[in-house]
Structure 1
Amino acid sequence: MDNFEKQQTIEAVKMVIKARWFYVLTIVLQGAVIKIWFPSVPLPTSFLIFLVVIIVFLINFGFWVYLRRSPEKINNFTLEVIKFSQVPLEQFGLAAILYFSGTANKMLLMMYIIPIMVGSALYRIKGIILSAFSTMILYSGLVFLEYLGLMPYLSPEAAVQSTGKVLRGEWYLVKGHIIGFNLYIIGASFYAAYLANLFKRREKNLVLQKNDLAQKTQALMIQAEELEKTKNYLHEALVKSDKARADLEQIKSEIEKANSELKIKINELEKYSQVTTGRELKMIELKEEIKNLKETIGNLKSQLVSDK
């Protein structure tokens, strides 16, 4: 039993236990009213009614206390035992009241639809079949016990006040009663099976939706992981880009610095070149002047010689 199935079983049993509180109180109230205003109607003694009710309440309370624990602390085998005992608890509780009242032919027999409803809630179709079959056997057994005179003695005065005829020694009534009751149970079982099948289909649809939602959630988780990886990748790329930009800025700064130094060197070179070029031009001019002076001197010498 997985955790989901275990939780569903616990909730179903709790629902049955809650319902039992109400209908047992209803039976107690009915018994009290009959005891007070209709004392001649056949019922078990007050002590037996009180004893049956106390036993049912104690068992119910024990189940309730145990199932209030967290699902992890509830043993699977114990849970299955509690689940299995719900239908017999209803059946034998009703059987005890009918038996000690002295007759099975009472309106209380209508409450035997309760075990079928419990089986439907806990076991679906299989539970309905088993509950109906065991209810038919149990109640038919009570009828035969009354027919054979094996039930507690019912006085004629109490028998007259009974809502139905006493079945002791009345084979014709016994046959009709058993056939009618069993047909009633079979009809109720078909109706319960139809409702259980409807609930089962709805439960399947809910399970399919749950599985689909789980798959979508898983897909979203995968997408979220991929987005997280992409985010980390982009963050790393951005960090690298920032670092590359910083390196580029540093290189640019170094280039600008180198350009500045180069301009200074070029200016110095131009100044030096200007100075050097000026000197060369001056030397050329001096050479021309010297040449001219030499020519002048030569001419003067020639004139001087010719004058002589």
Structure 2
Amino acid sequence: MPRISVLGCGRIGRMHADNIATHPQATLAGVFDTHAPFAAEIASKHGVTNFASALEAINSDDVDAVLIATPTSTHVEFLEACVKAGKAVLCEKPIDLSLERVNALAKRIEGTKVPIMLGFVRRFDPGHAAAERARAAGEIGELHQVTITSRDPGMAPDGYIKTSGGIFRDMTIHDLDLARFLLGEEVTEVTATGSRLVNPTLMDECDDYDTVVVILKTASGKQAVITNSREAVYGYDQRIEMLGSKGMLVTDNHHNHSMKKYLATETNVSSPLQHFFIERYGAAFDVEISKFVDAIENGAPVPVGFEDGRLALLLADACFKSVAEGRTVLTSEFA
């Protein structure tokens, strides 16, 4: 079983460490975080090494692979260190906030045989994955439209918003990757619009948006529409529809349980939506680790690689350009 170290012990790193430690096909080798108490807690919980530095967690002879869950600004450095060390790497999105830096890294690691996987976990959601397989099998005929609804239950903390790179790079980027996955074709045109409806002061604070719509188009005319909001008061809203010439595919929200109430005063009342991404995509995170292990142990191709991460960031940049210039942006403009 591959021995995997985890860099970063914040919310998502902690979840990854727990998943690896309990995964039947992987071993948690150790953890590292610049905030020592976080790493010490996880290392103690699982009885693993608390590495003194990120490079030690990468280069240790007791480590076969690395999962990067550190701040985005460190991803390029740690990714390159993993490649140099010959260690397979699973990196949380995005690779970086700068497409220029990502392109430069792509050139430096060109030709590497080291497995590099990106953490676009929504591809592994059982419903989303089943929909993609049904589309590929022709069950709905020729695909025409993909509709992705993705809304957070509430605004992220101000500190996160100000350093996130903006909604298109930190939130919509998941849906941009999912759209590429579901369309089965590359996007050639991007049209985006953004508003500040939840927090009107975002313009003054960080020139960002909290409510956005993106329209993607492929060369053959297939369309994807992405609807994002930073705040849906009813919970974490995650749905997709795929319309084809012979029918439609739908994957819906997840609830805490499936019971519904029908009373004299109200009908079809369901339990709340699952709270946030760790709960909603829990099964997908488990599949993600299994896919990573398969790439390490059996040489299977990573299902979502470095180039997928680069293209998702390119589409995010195209969204910002579209909003700023009030026009449809061609992806060829970034070539």
Q: Same fold (TM over 0.5)?
A: no
- Structure 1 or 2: larger helix share? 1
- Structure 1 or 2: larger strand share? 2
Q: Which has the larger radius of gyration?
A: 1
Q: TM class, shorter-chain normalised?
A: under 0.3
Q: TM-score, normalised by structure 1?
A: 0.27
Q: TM-score, normalised by structure 2?
A: 0.25
